[in-house]
Structure 1
Amino acid sequence: MTNPTELLHRRYGVNSFHTDIPWNDCIDTLLSHRSIRAYLSESLPSGTLETLIAAAQSASTSSNLQTWSVVAVESSNRKEKLSQLANNQAHIRQCPLFLVWLADLARLTHIAESRGLPHQGLDYLEMFLMAAIDAALAAQNAVVAAESLGLGTVYIGALRNRPEAVAQVLNLPPHIFAVFGLCVGYADRTIETAIKPRLPQSAVLHRETYQLSEQDEAIALYNQVMKAFYNSQKMNVPGDWTEHSAKRVAFAESLSGRDRLREALRNLGFELR
């Protein structure tokens, strides 16, 4: 296991809090997370996929409705198509296993209709939100499991740029939406990937009530931390984190096609009342 003080320093980019809790492999794995965008072509051991899905299914699910599914993509041809729909990201093609996590209301629609029962509740925004949350919780369990096995991962939100096209590639019926993808595989160790610092806890941890203006100092510190991080990684990122983040949300065009998400969801069968 990594020294806790050293690992916390990497996660925040500065000396952080001291902890007296007993350190363990689970916390070590969580705090060591980094996004991997370069993979070896090495195949995964037999049973890896099923183990990751068992971990995913062990996540909490609202009302035990289990409103998520996942498509495991290993075909080079299909990974190529999905890569093209997600800004042509090479790591989608490289990884041996690409998992597409789905908000799935088709299953509940099907079982209700098979028994002649109404299912109007599925037409409301709450149920789509529930399904998206369920998918996220399941996927994160799978990520932790994968990283505990020495595998690398990275989420691919760009699948939401072209939702209808992704649905066509995966043969998704109505009432299913691809929330994000996930690359899984062995990292190419010749390409070093550092732990990316996060905001100080004083920006995200609020005690009793939420405080917005008091985050200014923490954000200013984080801007400096991220500048140092980008320089250390030789990443040409203009401006600081605040400027970079503001540009990502400045205009509808900044959303890379996701500004039409409501329209896409309705095209995929979600009423969103």
Structure 2
Amino acid sequence: MNKVIETMKEHRSIRNYTDKEISEEIINELVNVAQAAPNSINGQQTSLIVIKDKATKEKLAELTGGQSWVAAAPVFFIFIADFYKIKIASEITGLPMNITESVESIMVASVDAGLSAQNLMTAAESLGLGIVPIGGIRKNPDEVIKLLGLPKYTFPILGIGVGYPSGNSKIKPRMPKSVYRHDEKYNSENIKEDILEYDKEMASYLEDIGRTQEVNWSSQTMNIYQNVYYPKVYPVLKDQGFENCK
């Protein structure tokens, strides 16, 4: 296989970094590859905020739930759902912007942000950088919006910490292909049995890295998904103009 594929298969989250700065040349290239990702209808309904300021990163670490690696990363990127740009197009053309009445608007922006983020992460890892995606940017979205000066019709989707790794981490096992890949139509046969086997594998992995309190995949996932763990997302989306009523 080629180097790109090998880089992607070797992905792991890196939360510890050296003090080495990332050059502006590399940052610009990461921005370029993120912007080059495909996007729906060429609407380009995402934007990217580059954070290097120490105080801002420390505040973001707090707002994401005390994730210290946000502050430790030399650069922190935040992907924004950005229909403010679309609102400008609405003003230019005189046509109404009705898309933000629908949940489709935030789905489109989330998919596009994910595509851009994957481009950036793959490029960063190919350059020997370590990355960690941070969904916790949505934990306190109202305060993140205020901190970053985000206008109406925008919303923070995802953060990514980037830096030169200090040490490495183990690759987290993935579910067996029988659970992930489905040919022609979804095949639910034997999925429970395969997940039970995966739980055993994850329990061993978690023991190896000293995180036995998470038990296994099923237990850890349901400890989170038994609740709406970012309850501010829906009301803040509505405040930002994403009505989600259609």
TMscore range, shorter length: over 0.9
Matches within 5 A, 1:124-203: 124-189=102-167, 192-203=168-179
Residues 23-60 of structure 1: per-residue CA shift (max 9 Å, x gap):
11011100000000111121112311110111112211
Displaced runs of 4+ in structure 1, greater than 3 A? none
What SS class does the counterpart of residue 199 from structure 1 fall into? coil
Q: Secondary structure at the match of 2:12?
A: coil
Match of 1:269 in 2: 241
Q: How many residues align?
A: 245
Output aligned runs, 1:1-273, within 5 Å: 23-189=1-167, 192-252=168-228, 255=229, 258-273=230-245
Give the Cα separation in 2 of the matches to 1:238 and 1:144.
28
**Structure 1 contact 98–182 (Cα < 8 Å) conserved:** yes
Residues 143-170 of structure 1, C-alpha deviations (whole Å, 9 max, x = no match): 0000000000001111111111000000
**Which amino acid in the other structure matches residue 108 of structure 2?**
M
**Amino acid across the alignment from 2:52:** E
Secondary structure of 2:24's partner?
A: coil
Normalising by structure 1, we get a TM-score of 0.86
User: Quick one: distance in 1 between partners of 2:146 and 2:214?
Assistant: 37
Q: Which residue of 2 aligns with 1:20?
A: none
Structure 1 residue 224: Cα displacement: 1.2
- Confirm or deny: 8 A CA contact 1:200 1:218 kept in the other structure: yes
SS of residue matched to 1:47: helix
Q: Matches of 2:147 and 2:33 in 1, distance apart? A: 26
Q: Which moved more, 1:37-46 or 1:233-242?
A: 233-242
Alpha-carbon contact 2:140-2:232 (below 8 Å) kept? no
Q: Provide the rounded CA distance (Å) in 2 between the counterparts of 1:202 and 1:173.
A: 44
Residue 18 (structure 1) aligns with: none
RMSD: 1.3
1:86 offset after TM fit, Å? 0.6
In 2, distance between residues paired with 1:78 and 1:46? 18
Supply the AA of the counterpart residue of 2:43. Answer: L
Distance 2:50 2:142 in 1: 18
Distance in 2 separating the partners of 1:223 and 1:160 = 28
Using the alignment, how far apart are the partners of 2:214 and 2:130 within structure 1?
28
Hey, what's the Cα distance between the residues in 2 that align with 1:73 and 1:46?
Answer: 12
Q: Is the contact between residue 68 and residue 103 of structure 1 (CA under 8 Å) also seen in structure 2?
A: yes
1:232 Cα offset (Å): 1.5
- Flag structure 1 segments of 5+ consecutive residues without an equivalent: 1-22
Provide the C-alpha distance between the structure 1 equivalents of 2:185 and 2:207, rounded to a whole number of angstroms: 36
Aligned residue identity for 1:30: M
* Alignment partners' CA distance in 1, 2:99 and 2:225: 32
Q: Name the TM-score, length of structure 2 as normaliser.
A: 0.95
Deviation at 1:188, TM superposition (A): 0.8
